[in-house]
Amino acid sequence: MKSSGSAPRRITILGSTGSIGCSTIDLVERNPGVYEIEALTAHSNVEKLAAQARLFRPRLVVIGDETLYGALKEALAGTNIAVAAGKDALVEAATLPADWVMSAIVGAAGLAPTLAAVRRGAVVALANKESLVCAGDLVMAEVERAGATLLPVDSEHNAIFQVFDFDRVESVERLILTASGGPFRTLARSDMEKVTPEQAVAHPNWSMGAKISVDSATMMNKGLEVIEAAHLFPVPEARIEVLVHPQSVIHSMVAYVDGSVLAQLGSPDMRTPIAYALGWPKRMAAPSARLDLAALGTLSFEAPDPERFPALRLARQALQTGGAAPTVLNAANEVAVAGFLARRIGFLDIARIVEETMDRAVAVRLSSLDDVHAADAEARRIASDLVASAG
């Protein structure tokens, strides 16, 4: 609820037409007068972006795909809302003086705009885990330097953020990231060969964008999240565990030295972690279904299977190697997932191509954003060749 007399909070949503973007818009819409939108961005969905813009009247609207500039301009004719297109314009959107920025672009494409918001010391709600995977040290150094606030939106990291004792870090023994196991949790490896993009994106618990849905099916998503957690929390990789929990009710846990384990629970609806970040440091109401544990009856747990889900091992290996290895892992995965969604490669090719790209890419240290871009581009070249030769 709006506190009396306070000015509306100015917010920007990067990736406003996506799954996370639309859930954020939903919360904003439920709280009229509380938020004013500074900027909205999308990649190619002109229609949805224009509809959001007409509703919220932001200062700037950006379409990532430059060829769609004319279409967006036309769709917003007569509104006096500024329209721009292209990568630099995405950065410009993040640079406008919003108090709070939702970073919900998918993939490494979110890195530059996320960094721009971080660099001006904003409160950044981070859904775009790939920016931490491909440039975690750089992003976290900029957060520190600029005094920015990073609020994790990824449900696992948001859960940990809520139960992590930042004042007594030494008392934390382990992080336990829960994983649903995805749609192929119980499928034999031999049957994974033939699964289709439609089957892979049909997640049992969460409704999400296509890329993260495929990542959940390979469990690369959990691998990316181990890397994300290692940057967000002062806990080394060896003490970040993954636990399969098919019901997605416990979103993650923190284990303490005295044997206590603190968990955050909720129904699988991203509007809860988004509301946590949007309301922060207060709590705001969210319409997510309330947990009915008696109706659920049972929560179950199992260890992840490294044979059927090799992506988890690859992500841990990348984190241990450090330098550009996670950048390479992420870029190769983006290319392979796009190849799978386009039916150019099979499901099991995804992890194979990531592993081969990691073997072939030259190991470099990352000391600047240019280094990140170079490592990312090299990995994309290698992985694209592997996709082409697999097809």
Report the interface residues with ligand NAD, using CB under 6 A: 15-21, 42-43, 45, 64, 90, 104-106, 109, 127-130, 154, 206, 208-209, 211-212, 270
Residue type, 190: S
- Burial category of 256 from C-beta neighbours within 10 Å (exposed 0-12, middle 13-18, buried 19 and up): middle
Q: In this complex, which beta carbon is closest to ligand NAD, that of residue 152 or of residue 310?
A: 152
The CA-atom distances, in angstroms, between 21 and each of 106, 289, 367 are: 11, 19, 31
Whole-angstrom distance, CA of residue 244 vs CA of residue 297: 18
Q: In this complex, which beta carbon is closest to ligand NAD, that of residue 124 or of residue 356?
A: 124
Decide if residue 130 touches Mg ion (CB under 5 A).
no
The helix or strand, by DSSP H or E, that contains position 178, with its residue range, turns out to be strand 172-179
Among the candidate windows 37-45, 153-161, 342-350, 366-374, which touches Mg ion by CB under 5 A?
A: 153-161
Measured torsion, CA atoms of residues 199, 319, 306, 220, in degrees rounded to the nearest 10:
0
Contact (CB, 8 A) for 37 and 58: yes
Whole-angstrom distance, CA of residue 58 vs CA of residue 357: 41
Work out what residue 158 binds among Mg ion, ligand NAD, none; the CB cut-off runs from 5 to 8 Å by kind.
Answer: none
Q: How far is the CB of 152 from Mg ion (least distance, A)?
A: 9
Among the candidate windows 12-20, 83-91, 143-151, 152-160, which touches Mg ion by CB under 5 A?
A: 152-160
Q: In this complex, which beta carbon is closest to ligand NAD, that of residue 162 or of residue 360?
A: 162
Work out what residue 349 binds among ligand NAD, Mg ion, none; the CB cut-off runs from 5 to 8 Å by kind.
Answer: none
Q: Determine the angle formed by the axes of helices 220-232 and 155-163, rounding to 10 degrees.
A: 30
Q: How far is the CB of 346 from Mg ion (least distance, A)?
A: 25
Q: In this complex, which beta carbon is closest to ligand NAD, that of residue 131 or of residue 357?
A: 131
Which residue's Cβ has the minimum distance to Mg ion? 154
Q: How far is the CB of 307 from ligand NAD (least distance, A)?
A: 25
Bridge-based pairing of strands 123-126 and 149-152 is parallel
Q: In this complex, which beta carbon is closest to ligand NAD, that of residue 90 or of residue 253?
A: 90
Contact (CB, 8 A) for 20 and 107: no
Q: In this complex, which beta carbon is closest to ligand NAD, that of residue 360 or of residue 381?
A: 381
Tokens representing 243? 């636990």
Considering only residues 130, 142, 154, 378, which one is a binding residue for Mg ion as defined by CB under 5 A? 154
Task: Specify the residue for token string 């179950």.
Answer: 300
Terminus-to-terminus CA distance in the chain, angstroms?
Answer: 54
Q: How far is the CB of 157 from ligand NAD (least distance, A)?
A: 9
- Burial category of 52 from C-beta neighbours within 10 Å (exposed 0-12, middle 13-18, buried 19 and up): buried
Q: In this complex, which beta carbon is closest to ligand NAD, that of residue 123 or of residue 214?
A: 214
Q: Is the dihedral of CA 224, 227, 231, 233 positive or negative?
A: positive
Work out what residue 101 binds among Mg ion, ligand NAD, none; the CB cut-off runs from 5 to 8 Å by kind.
Answer: none
Which residue's Cβ has the minimum distance to ligand NAD? 18
Work out what residue 218 binds among ligand NAD, Mg ion, none; the CB cut-off runs from 5 to 8 Å by kind.
Answer: none
Work out what residue 334 binds among ligand NAD, Mg ion, none; the CB cut-off runs from 5 to 8 Å by kind.
Answer: none
**Residues near Mg ion (CB under 5 A):** 154-156
